[in-house]
Amino acid sequence: MPPVRSTPEAAIARSIRLKRLNSLTAILFGGLPAVILGLVFPGGPERYLAGFVLGVLWANAFEYFYHRSLLHGTVGTLAQHHLEHHAATGNADEADHVNFGESPVWVALLFVINEVVVVAADLLLGFRIAPGMLVAFSVYFVLLEEIHWRVHLDGWLPPGLRSAKIYHLRHHGRPDARFNVFLPLLDRMCGTKAYIGCDRQPGPWRSPCPPLPLAVANGGGGRPRI
């Protein structure tokens, strides 16, 4: 018998559950260590605010290099899963491959890897900004997972983030640029905000950029609003 394929509705329900579990994991693994460090090594609001800003920059850079170097630069298991995500974009099985976090265990491991470095450096140097950075990690991941999910499944986005949908889906149209999902700080710094090797106004020495993916051209692929 051929394998039974789940309905799009069931796949969306599963992706919502996974998204919530991933977000709860991010809040737990970022927020709890932040509270403990703040109680044991208090630093004050100014240090926590500085840490939060630095944490956002750290998370943005980690997202960029993880996406560009690991998901698009290797052929391992994670890269294969990401390739499935690209292949499913705009298709009926898109919801099966939409979550940025593979699983809560994967999310927890990402947090542990980053936090070991941040906490060790903070304790060694005595800056006492780690609590703010860990909170920033949690906030950034929750936003990344939520925005990425809504971009692909045509969920509602506030006016200030609607451009993120076009920005990210253009990455799916040509995946050699635009590696940040919604906050292209590292894309700007590394020169990958625009398509590599193409130009919106092609000339004798410039190649044209590809057309927008159908999901962008059709305003999200015609799915019901979520």
CA of 81: how far to CAs of 19, 74, 102, 175, 203, in Å? 16, 12, 9, 15, 37
Distance CA 108, CA 106 (A): 5
Distance CA 114, CA 73 (A): 20
pTM, whole model, 2 decimals? Answer: 0.85
CA of 75: how far to CAs of 71, 105, 110, in Å? 8, 21, 19
Distance CA 135, CA 127 (A): 16
Phi, psi of 199 (to 5 degrees): -145, 145
Mean pLDDT by 10 residues, the chain (226 residues): 61 94 98 97 96 98 95 89 90 88 93 97 97 98 96 92 92 92 95 65 43 47 43
Encoding tokens for residue 43? 């630093």
Q: Which residues contact 36 (CB under 8 A, 6 or more apart)?
A: none
* pLDDT, tens digit (0-9, with 9 covering 90-100), for 140-196: 999 999 999 999 999 999 998 989 999 999 999 889 899 999 999 999 999 998 765
Encoding tokens for residue 172? 């799916």
